[in-house]
Amino acid sequence: MKKTLTLASGSLLLALVFSWWWTSRQPSPVELIPTLTGQPEYCLTCHADVPDISPSHPNNTFGCVSCHGGERLALNADLAHSTMRGGANPSDLSVAGISCGGSNCHSGSEADDRNHIQRVMTSVQSTYAGAIANIRFSFGAQPDLIPRFGTNAVTDEQTQTGITSLSAFKPLSESNPFIQKFGENCLTCHVNAVRGDGKANERQTGCAACHATAKHTLSTAIPYTQCNACHNRGNYDLRTMTFIERTDHPTNRLQDYYQPIAQFTKCEYTLDCVDCHTRDEAMGDGDLHANQKDIQYIQCKTCHGTPTELPLTKTIADPNDIVFRLAMLNPVLELKMGDTVLVTEKGEPLWNTRVVSDGTYEMIGKVTRQQFAFRPVMGSHCTQSGKDQSSAYCHECHSVER
């Protein structure tokens, strides 16, 4: 009995010494209590050097768990990461509603224009509805170009376009082998597609596909290279239903921006895409659309007007105008009450523009912060009809040689 007791006490002592030694090797917990949640989390124990992901999402306010999920009190990496949302990308559309959503965040009401996630889910960037309808129509699987399928099932009961829902496209359910191959090879660039291998697929999914401009960074100053990750990475070969990665090696912006066959004006390769194209164009306007053209409405005339009309403008008279919020997120231009900015035909303010007192306009690059001064077409020698304003008409005179 005494021998057993001695052995037991010795073993316990050894176990305690070992436990103390093991504990002393572990990092001391670093606690963060985000003001948003008021709940301690220990993620900074290992991730102490993680910078704020954006000025709008400081670590001290949001912490890590609000967006990433995970076990906030765990000090073991496997356990802490076991319940993270979306792996390293909580903005993947499969989880963005939880990670980025919420009535005060990005799935708020349509009334105050904070329904970003709903808009993205119904946008053509996500549904790819037009491409799917086009291919199915071309190969006889449907009698018209009306979209019936999206990459995921989605509904929009308050639609303004007449398209109330899309069913999930299932290529293997199609009888035509070309449509099957299209589904297999050509659906890799919508914002919730799993990225493929290779340089042509270097992008993330969900919100991060556009807004993650660097590691652990979210920004509305999105350079054209971010858009190029999908929009300028190669071509689809419709004969073989495969994606052909571009093989040229552009050495400057001029070559990098467009495929060799394309025409463009100087501003198209000087500006970044987001300098002109709006949130609704990129993220959707909340309605389901039949194709990209239905939601892409920025034209040369949006900024330059036509020979008979000046571009649309709006003078800021409300301190709650969304123009201030947009400008605050990327303060390239200090707008104030009484300033006049250009607006789209839908009334969206181009918040990086301003009408100058002499009747000309200025635009500040959202990424480059470069200042551009420009004049209206009205009063110039241009005789282009105001009705024919697609870029092809303007390219006739204004395209750049390369």
Q: What is the helix (H) or strand (E) element at residue 265, kind and residue range?
A: none
Does residue number 16 form part of the binding site for another protein (CB under 8 A)?
yes
Does residue number 12 form part of the binding site for another protein (CB under 8 A)?
yes
Query: At its nearest, how many Å lie between another protein and the CB of residue 18?
Result: 11
Nearest to 188 by CA among 273, 136, 128: 128
Does residue number 13 form part of the binding site for another protein (CB under 8 A)?
yes
Q: What is the arrangement of strands in the sheet containing 371-374, beginning at the earlier edge strand?
A: 353-355, 361-364, 371-374
What is residue 2's DSSP assignment?
H
Among 170, 231, 293, 325, binds another protein (CB under 8 A): 325
Cβ-based neighbours of 266, under 8 Å, separated by 6 or more: 398, 400
Query: At its nearest, how many Å lie between another protein and the CB of residue 61?
Result: 5
AA identity, residue 104 = N
Cβ-based neighbours of 62, under 8 Å, separated by 6 or more: 34, 36
Binding mask 44-63 for another protein (x = CB under 8 A): -----------xxxx-xxx-
Does residue number 320 form part of the binding site for another protein (CB under 8 A)?
yes
Stretch that binds another protein, among 165-173, 178-186, 286-294, 319-327 (CB under 8 A): 319-327
Query: At its nearest, how many Å lie between another protein and the CB of residue 9?
Result: 4
Residues in the chain, total: 402
Query: At its nearest, how many Å lie between another protein and the CB of residue 284?
Result: 21
Contact 193, 326 (CB under 8 A): no
3-state class (DSSP) for residue 41: strand
Among 30, 44, 73, 141, binds another protein (CB under 8 A): 73
Within positions 102 to 121, which residues make up the interface with another protein, using CB under 8 A? 104-105, 112, 114
Does residue number 34 form part of the binding site for another protein (CB under 8 A)?
yes
- 155: how many CB neighbours lie within 10 A of its CB? 14
Query: At its nearest, how many Å lie between another protein and the CB of residue 35?
Result: 4
Greatest CA separation for the chain: 110
What's the CA gap between 22 and 341, in Å, rounded? 63
Among 35, 167, 240, 390, binds another protein (CB under 8 A): 35
Query: At its nearest, how many Å lie between another protein and the CB of residue 66?
Result: 9
What's the CA gap between 351 and 268, in Å, rounded? 18
Query: At its nearest, how many Å lie between another protein and the CB of residue 390?
Result: 36
Does residue number 19 form part of the binding site for another protein (CB under 8 A)?
yes
Helix%, strand%, coil% for the chain, nearest 5: 35, 10, 55
Query: At its nearest, how many Å lie between another protein and the CB of residue 104?
Result: 6
Contact 373, 366 (CB under 8 A): no
Does residue number 36 form part of the binding site for another protein (CB under 8 A)?
yes
Nearest to 93 by CA among 233, 208, 227, 241: 208
Query: At its nearest, how many Å lie between another protein and the CB of residue 193?
Result: 31
- 257 half-sphere exposure, CB direction, 13 A CA radius: 19
Choose between 113 and 294: whose C-beta lies nearer to another protein: 113
Directed axis angle between helix 177-185 and helix 129-138, to 10°?
A: 160
Choose between 137 and 324: whose C-beta lies nearer to another protein: 324
Choose between 4 and 175: whose C-beta lies nearer to another protein: 4
Binding positions for another protein, rule: CB under 8 A: 2, 5-6, 9-10, 12-13, 16, 19, 29, 33-36, 38-40, 42, 55-58, 60-62, 73, 104-105, 112, 114, 319-320, 324-325, 328
